[in-house]
Amino acid sequence: MVRGWLDRVRRSKDLYRLELRDRSGLLEAVWQPGNDLGDPPSPESVVRATGLLRRANGNPVQLHVEELEVVAPAQSPLPTGPGASRSQELDARHLELRSASKYLIFAVQTTLEAAIREFVLARGFVEIHSPKISGGGSESGATVFSVPYFGNSAYLVQSPQFYMQMAMAAGFERVFEIGPVFRSEPGTTPIHATEFTIAHFEMSWIDSHEDLIDFEEALLRYAVAAVAAEHGEEIERHCGVSVDFPSEEIPRLPISEAQDLAGEATVSDERSLSDLERTLSKRAHREYGHGLVFLTDYPASARPFYTMAADEAPDDEPLKSRSFDLLWHGIEITSGGQREHRFDRLERNIAGAGLTEEAADLYIRPHFLEMFRYGCPPHGGFGIGINRLLMAMLGQASIKDTSFVFRGPKRYMP
Ligand code: ATP
């Protein structure tokens, strides 16, 4: 007996040729309901089919159905049929997700996250679940969603980082979390969602952001290898890409050199930043045979106030920050850096960060800065956007495809 969906129904003389589907794949079946064939169940109906499996002369195995029970009929036509718009498909995501290629994305995500967990647990990390509702916006408050909170305003958290740093101040040394974050960003691009999953890591006693880059590289090498071992063949078949991670070190390019390489594009402008990222990844692909590149040494002025800056800069060069991004096929999948852990420097950074007084006084000084008043070890961390990592790894064109249910400025249903 097999249980699943009727993928296809075709009449062939005095019998029906069926394709049955479940999450493991397709099975051919033939079914002769009786002398009068009658109307077949509609495609996509949920069925139980009982019969004998036969294989004739090297042909694929076939189920000769003796009894076909329609457990739940599907209405026709399906809203996701030919001619359906992307919006109609997303409205009927439960139907769109019935395909093997869509299911694969979430099977890959599961393997990926399990491997990430395995890697960090073996290295002494503790998993935390930080709050998603907070009384303060993480940085400027400009890209947070506000929610009514018993007569006050609260916000949906846009990064778990501050809570991870709280764990550093508490002496946890190594923590991680894989969970949702929320960004109220109105723009629509193929790589931006308003809710997405981030895998965030924070670790104490690092010497610089280089330690974080080493760590992330080893982590990704391990996790991508786990995905390739478990799903490599299917990924080639459904996505047309082969999953591999370079065995040699991923190039680490200071942003100033990256800009020279990419020519016109500059880091100061949002649009050209993505042009820069695309150009660089193409170059990396040409030169190293993969599209991965770490960008380092961003000017301190281009990074948030909590990022540690170099102690000094050579004459007429901007002060560098101890931070990095990771690009894969032109997509920024990670941002990270060493955090400033010295109270007096942080206090100075906050004063010069251009925060609204309200944001600084309501949250940043009393709740963030306070974490450093009583001593906090040197530390740093990074966040990997899981949906973007899946896009890069599986060659998917849009974050809509790697989000179980996508959230964007114009899409918050179903
Ligand atoms: P971007 O410049 O691409 O908007 P960001 O610099 O704002 O990203 P961070 O705040 O550093 O990103 O977030 C860490 C990681 O989270 C990014 O490297 C990326 O992988 C992911 N990420 C950030 N914003 C989004 C988004 N709107 N949708 C999906 N993933 C995102």
> 212 or 290: whose pLDDT is higher?
212
333 CB under 6 A from ligand 1? yes
Q: Which of 335, 389, 400, 401 to mutate to test the pocket of ligand 1 (most atoms within 8 A of CB)?
A: 335
**What percent of the chain is predicted at pLDDT more than 90?**
76
pLDDT of residue 272 exceeding 90, the answer is no
DSSP 321: B
Examine the pLDDT at 268 and tell me if it is beyond 50: no
278 CB near ligand 1 (under 6 Å)? no
pLDDT of residue 263: 62
Q: Can you give the pLDDT at residue 271?
A: 44
Length of the chain: 414
Burial of 25 (0-12, 13-18, 19+ CB in 10 A): exposed
Comparing 28-37, 175-184, 246-255, the range with the smallest average pLDDT is 28-37
Average pLDDT over residues 376-395: 98
Does the CB atom of residue 192 touch ligand 1 within 6 A?
A: yes
> pLDDT band at residue 142, thresholds of 50, 70 and 90?
low
Min mean pLDDT across 92-106, 200-214, 350-364, 394-408 is at 350-364
Protein residue closest via CA to atom 24 of ligand 1: 192
pLDDT, tens digit, for every residue of 15-46? 999 999 999 999 999 999 887 778 889 999 99
Chain center to CA of 348: 34
Taking 50 as the threshold, does the pLDDT of residue 235 lie above it?
yes
How many Cβ atoms are within 10 Å of 255's Cβ, its own excluded?
22
Among 32-41, 76-85, 335-344, 362-371, the least confident range: 32-41
Output the CA 210–ligand 1 centroid distance in Å: 20
Residue nearest to atom 8 of ligand 1 (CA): 332
Ligand 1 center–CA 385 separation, angstroms:
7
Distances (CA, A) of 162 to 130, 206, 220, 306, 347: 9, 17, 23, 10, 16
Pocket flag, ligand 1, residue 408 (CB < 6 Å): no
Q: Which residue has the higher pLDDT, 139 or 370?
A: 370
Q: Determine if ligand 1 sits within 6 Å of the CB of residue 390.
A: no
| DSSP tag of 288 | H
Contact yes or no for 349/306 (Cβ under 8 A): yes
Q: Give the Å distance between the CA of 378 and the centre of ligand 1.
A: 24
State which ligand 1 atom lies nearest to the alpha carbon of 185: 27
Residue with tokens 């032109």: 330
Is a pLDDT exceeding 80 seen at residue 265? no
Distance in Å, CA 151 to ligand 1 centroid: 31
- Over residues 187-202, the mean pLDDT reads 95
CA distance 392 to 227: 13
Which pLDDT does position 315 carry in this prediction? 77
Q: In this predicted structure, which of 130-139, 225-234, 298-307 has the lowest mean pLDDT?
A: 130-139
Residues 140-162 as b/e (b if ≥16 CB within 10 A, e otherwise) read ebeebeeeeeeeeebbbbbbbbb
Mean pLDDT along residues 393-403: 96
Ligand 1 site, residue 295, Cβ cutoff 6 A: no
- Pick from 263-272, 360-369, 397-406: least confident: 263-272
CB atoms within 10 A of CB 371: 20
Nearest atom (ligand 1) to Cα of 194: 27
Which range, of 123-137, 185-199, 252-266, 297-311, averages the lowest pLDDT? 252-266
Q: Which two tokens stand for residue 74?
A: 């599907």
**Ligand 1, atom nearest to 183 Cα:** 27
Task: Verify whether ligand 1 is closer than 6 Å to residue 196 (CB atom).
Answer: yes
> How far is ligand 1, taken at its centre, from the CA of residue 41, in Å?
46
Instruction: Check if 392 has its Cβ closer than 6 Å to any atom of ligand 1.
Output: no
**Test site for ligand 1: of 164, 293, 332, most ligand atoms within 8 A of the Cβ:** 332
332 Cβ closer than 6 Å to some ligand 1 atom: yes
Rounded CA gap, 55 and 8, in Å?
Answer: 20
Whether the CA torsion 82, 406, 217, 229 is positive or negative: it is: negative
3-state SS assignment for residue 121: helix
In the predicted model, is pLDDT for residue 171 greater than 90?
Answer: yes
Does 355 have pLDDT greater than 90?
no
Q: For residue 13, name the pLDDT band (cuts at 50, 70, 90).
A: confident
For residue 229, pLDDT over 70 is answered with yes
Asked if the model's pLDDT at residue 152 lies above 60, the reply is yes
| The overall pTM is greater than 0.85 | yes
CA 286 / ligand 1 centre spacing (Å): 25
pLDDT at 267: 44
Across the chain, mean pLDDT equals: 91
Residue 270: pLDDT over 50: no
Q: Is 185 in the pocket of ligand 1 (CB under 6 A)?
A: yes
Q: Which atom of ligand 1 is nearest the CA belonging to 389?
A: 20
In the prediction, which pLDDT does 139 show?
A: 52
328 lines ligand 1 (CB under 6 A): no
> How far away, in angstroms, is 128 Cα from ligand 1 center?
21
What one-character-per-residue DSSP string does 245-270 give?
A: --SSPPPEEEHHHHHHHHTT--TTSH
193 lines ligand 1 (CB under 6 A): yes
Which of helix, strand or coil describes residue 238? helix
Distance 261 CA to ligand 1 centre (A): 23
